[in-house]
């Protein structure tokens, strides 16, 4: 899942550190990194796009990575994620574009997990998750969730337990949401754009 890297609309929590254009450039770079890893996993890949499918960035993604583009549904994050699972046939791994710790090997491991469990998650250090994989849709884990809160993964576990849905968490990861995350990103060797408004 990714949105068009439009200044002022992409990675807005990073704008104080990078400026509107800098934040958008980082979002584009993170999305390209995510696509590199996804395509490198040899799994089928599609890019679920928020914003205009005709945006030049999405055209670049199709050209450079050979991925199909799909429009995201309307609604909050949960509604948009649920719609992706509802439209799919068979197991799906759904990942965000801002988790540089997700590499091709981890994606393959998550796909293998879905051969023996109905759900897989990669929880993030901030209390959410950067990847969810489901054999079939589980609507209850996407509805009325306080997206962005540090309790998302905890609440998801509670709901899965209540529903009797087994899941696996192969590895904890981290994502890039706030200026504090930029130091970790730089330490991982990822180039940080200069401030550009």
β-sheet with 92-95: strand ranges across: 92-95, 129-134, 119-123
Reduced to 3 states, what is the DSSP secondary structure of residue 140?
A: helix
Q: Collect all residues with Cβ–Cβ distance below 8 Å to 37 and sequence separation of at least 6.
A: 102, 103, 104, 107
* φ, ψ dihedrals at 190, nearest 5°: -85, 130
pLDDT tens-digit profile, the chain (197 residues): 999 999 999 999 999 999 999 999 999 999 999 999 999 999 999 999 998 999 999 999 999 999 999 999 999 999 999 999 999 989 999 999 999 999 999 999 999 999 999 999 999 999 999 999 999 999 999 999 999 999 999 999 999 999 999 999 999 999 999 999 999 999 999 999 999 99
3-state secondary structure of 83: helix
For 48, the token pair is 């679920």
> Using CA atoms, how far apart are residues 165 and 157, in angstroms rounded to an integer?
9
Report the pLDDT value the prediction gives residue 51, as an integer from 0 to 100.
Answer: 87
pLDDT attached to residue 131:
98
* pLDDT at res. 105: 98
pTM (predicted TM-score): 0.95
Torsion over CA: 147, 151, 155, 157 (sign): positive
Domains in the chain: boundaries? 2-187
pLDDT at 157: 98
Residue 6 per-residue DSSP state: -
Fold of 2-187: Spore Coat Polysaccharide Biosynthesis Protein SpsA; Chain A (3.90.550)
Q: Give CA–CA dist 59/135, Å, rounded.
A: 30
pLDDT of residue 55: 96
Can you tell me the distance from the alpha carbon of 8 to that of 135, in angstroms, rounded to the nearest whole number? 36
Instruction: Tokens for 176, please give them.
Output: 């890039």
Cα–Cα distance for residue pair 195/20, rounded to 1 Å: 8
Between the alpha carbon of residue 139 and those of residues 49, 106, 154, the distances in Å are 21, 25, 17
Residue 1 confidence (pLDDT): 97
């Amino acid at each position: 899942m990714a949105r068009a890297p439009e200044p002022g609309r992409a990675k807005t929590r990073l704008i104080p550190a990078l400026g509107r254009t800098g934040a958008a450039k980082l979002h584009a770079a993170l999305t390209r990194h995510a696509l590199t890893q996804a395509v490198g996993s040899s799994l089928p890949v599609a890019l679920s796009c928020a914003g205009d499918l005709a945006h030049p960035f999405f055209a670049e993604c199709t050209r450079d990575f050979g991925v199909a583009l799909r429009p995201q549904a309307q609604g909050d994050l949960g509604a948009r994620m649920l719609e992706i699972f509802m439209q799919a046939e068979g197991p799906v791994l759904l990942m965000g574009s801002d988790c540089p710790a997700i590499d091709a090997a981890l994606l393959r491991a998550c796909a293998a997990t879905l051969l023996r469990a109905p759900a897989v998650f990669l929880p993030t250090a901030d209390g959410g998750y950067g990847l969810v994989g489901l054999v079939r849709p589980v609507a209850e884990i996407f509805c009325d969730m306080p997206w962005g809160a540090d309790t998302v993964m905890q609440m998801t576990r509670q709901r899965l337990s209540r529903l009797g849905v087994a899941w696996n968490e192969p590895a904890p990861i981290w994502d890039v949401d706030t200026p504090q995350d930029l130091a970790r990103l730089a330490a991982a060797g990822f180039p940080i754009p200069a401030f550009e408004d």
